[in-house]
Amino acid sequence: MPSTFPREDTPLPLAQVELADIVRLREPYMPRGERQRGPFPLGIVAEILTILPDGRMRNVSLYLYDPERKQIFLGPNGIPEFVDFHCSEIELYKRATEQGYETLLGRGPEG
């Protein structure tokens, strides 16, 4: 069943995400200028910018991605560039911890 968004006059919830989660943009990002074409419908959480006093995230930076073209949004020098979003503009698409990889940092030589 496809997800649906609240009506325009309804306040949108703040997506609660973690680093490396994949999110869907409520409105695909369209870059300005001619250096790269959009739209970019998905993002990968690169940085959590603002956490509210109640613990909810408010703003995040994303690497933008278009799965159809298999393309990441690049800056003018050809390096992947963050784009900042309010968490009401995104929804969780896939949790990074559910993708089958594990963190290796902090593990000793015994494995």
Tell me whether residue 59 is in a domain. Answer: yes
Q: How confident is the model at residue 109 (pLDDT cuts 50, 70, 90)?
A: low
Tell me whether residue 110 is in a domain. Answer: no
Question: Residues with Cβ < 8 Å from 94, sequence gap 6 or more?
Answer: 21, 22
Distances (CA, A) of 55 to 28, 49, 51, 86: 27, 13, 6, 15
Tell me what pLDDT residue 56 has. Answer: 92
Question: Residues 20-66: pLDDT tens digits?
Answer: 999 999 999 998 876 788 899 999 999 999 999 999 999 999 999 99
Tell me whether residue 94 is in a domain. Answer: no
Tell me whether residue 52 is in a domain. Answer: yes
Higher pLDDT, 1 or 80: 80
The number of distinct structural domains making up the chain is: 1
What is the domain extent for residue 54?
A: 39-85
Tell me whether residue 71 is in a domain. Answer: yes
pLDDT above 80: residue 99 = no
